Structure 1
């Protein structure tokens, strides 16, 4: 029997500014025999996400930085193809954080079995039915404490989290939802598919002016994925007692110099605003509550989603770089083509 080989993407150098292909390397790693309590999983989809850029820097953050020469970890979903763990038999669909590889084996405890949903692609477990949707829900409810009838502004609205936020905000009772995106095609999707009442193209410049025009009565909630000029714009138009859920700051992820702070931060005081950053790890206990909400909405056809899919583990870096440039609509994913699966796998 041939030896199974895992293709993995590693961090070769810490990016200075925008990442390039030279910051990564692809390696082929032969896998040994399965140990007791371990499983081998063939991935179906691998996630690339903005937060990964921050982990490529050797700086303090909410999660440890990636180490040079190690495989980049992150969300993925796949099926067990060999098992020495009765709780995860061959064929089980599993979520895990082993990241950028096509084939992975490790202790069964590092994988979480999820049920197959008839007619539902497994990829949705990596976004709208998984951590992406939960992030949107947590930001709107636990952080920003959205109330029915309020106005919400979402930066980076056409990304995976942003498309979820727009829909959930409406389903949770928001009266008006405003989004920013980087192309006219994305603006149309936001207003036609994702619950946004109005959207503007930040690449046209004057984010402050465009938001003021889109929100003549002000905003109550800001869900921020971008930071920078979008945060300044929100601070201009916040109503009294407004709340911001600060989820990401992609505008500054690839800068090499410190960006100046908002010039209107005094509004936080004069308007009694609340700005709160969050990471999902501290709110995972809300997962069951989120699933109770999202499952019937999804079954009733009230949840839309888009995926931008790149085929092949060897193109993971391409997918990541494209996502960082905003080339995706909805969730960016790497799909492991079916014809590469299983030829070397066997029941252990």
Structure 2
């Protein structure tokens, strides 16, 4: 049984700038023996989300602040390798908030057993925060009805790609915004979007007008900034604008400036709302079953980008902000 574990600690608060290598510190720490009711968990996969930068900055107030020297916060899949009367059996796979550590001692609080017919990594991607965020943001906040036009920014990302497919399942027209011809081609060919807009090609506002001639009924925004402003310029009457994330701000730092076209919310009698997916935690088991059913019947596909090696955790997180990932970003230990 291991007596030590490597861990990545927070070593800097990246406010007003991109994440740097020295924002993290690799250490080796002693592992305590599992006490009564505790288990030793071996981390097999780590999951990565843009929100982690907000946690590092201590901007996100829906989670506890992070101090220098804390184990970097994050989700993971673990195998139970030893148990002292714990709630899970040796050999079980569980998932939840693990932090960036090779091993951890846990009483199982906040951990869920991996129970799916899909590959286990699905609990961090299409059945994890990624899929749940897509589902709750679209259906709880966006409230699409058949025939609506749904416009998604960051559409080739892990969450955005699921949003478009769920919109299609709901009978909507789905248009995605992504960076580069390759991502746009994937959106239409694999993710089932009706059309894709390449923001790198320029004049996003004109491209939106071309592909959404009747206006946009539901905006699902993962980007913020100029892209959000261009989307707001073409909303339909009664539109719902869902604010999920603001990846455009993560490299520049600070909070994004307010959109110049927000007055369209008045002219179009529209609404704009943010959300935190944890608000629907009680519904997660039922939503996971629905999402798994969509995957099983072929109406929902998903991508996973799996890097390798615990020492590469900081670099793997930074892939999200360089647009290098294809689907849910993960790391196999």
Bin of the TM-score, shorter chain as denominator length: over 0.9
Match of 2:95 in 1: 95
Other structure's SS at 1:52 match: helix
Query: Does 2:72 correspond to 1:65?
Result: no
Query: Does 2:184 correspond to 1:177?
Result: no
Match of 2:141 in 1: 143
Match of 2:281 in 1: 284
Deviation at 1:214, TM superposition (A): 1.9
Determine if contact 1:3/1:30 at 8 Å carries over to the other structure.
no
Superposition RMSD on alpha carbons, in Å? 1.6
| Counterpart among 134, 144, 160 of residue 162 in structure 1 | 160
Match of 1:122 in 2: 120
CA distance in 2, matches of 1:116, 1:264: 44
Deviation at 1:135, TM superposition (A): 0.9
Query: Does 2:287 correspond to 1:310?
Result: no
| Counterpart among 247, 250, 272 of residue 247 in structure 2 | 250
Query: Does 2:212 correspond to 1:232?
Result: no
Deviation at 1:248, TM superposition (A): 0.3
1:68-83 pair list within 5 angstroms: 68-83=68-83
Cα distance change, pair 231–325 in 1 and its aligned pair in 2 (3 A): same
Match of 1:201 in 2: 198
Deviation at 1:260, TM superposition (A): 3.3
Determine if contact 2:38/2:86 at 8 Å carries over to the other structure.
no
Match of 1:42 in 2: 42
Query: Does 2:54 correspond to 1:54?
Result: yes
CA distance in 2, matches of 1:116, 1:91: 16
Partner deviation per Cα, 1:18-61 (whole Å, 9 max, x = no partner) = 11101111111121211111111112210111000111113352
Match of 1:269 in 2: 266
* Structure 2 length-normalised TM: 0.95
Deviation at 1:224, TM superposition (A): 0.6
Other structure's SS at 1:241 match: strand
Consecutive unaligned residues in structure 1, runs of 5 or more: 337-348
Match of 1:109 in 2: 109
| Counterpart among 253, 257, 261 of residue 260 in structure 1 | 257
Match of 2:207 in 1: 210
| Counterpart among 158, 183, 186 of residue 183 in structure 2 | 186
| Counterpart among 316, 319, 333 of residue 322 in structure 1 | 319
Moved more, 325-334 or 59-68: 59-68
Other structure's SS at 2:183 match: helix
CA distance in 2, matches of 1:142, 1:150: 15
Match of 2:129 in 1: 131
CA distance in 2, matches of 1:293, 1:108: 25
Match of 1:30 in 2: 30
CA distance in 1, matches of 2:203, 2:137: 26
CA distance in 2, matches of 1:115, 1:261: 42
CA distance in 2, matches of 1:179, 1:116: 29
Consecutive unaligned residues in structure 2, runs of 5 or more: none
Partner deviation per Cα, 1:277-330 (whole Å, 9 max, x = no partner) = 001111122323423422322222222111111101110111111111111111
Deviation at 1:209, TM superposition (A): 2.0
Other structure's SS at 1:56 match: helix
CA distance in 2, matches of 1:28, 1:165: 40
Determine if contact 1:93/1:116 at 8 Å carries over to the other structure.
no
What count of residue pairs does the alignment treat as equivalent?
A: 332
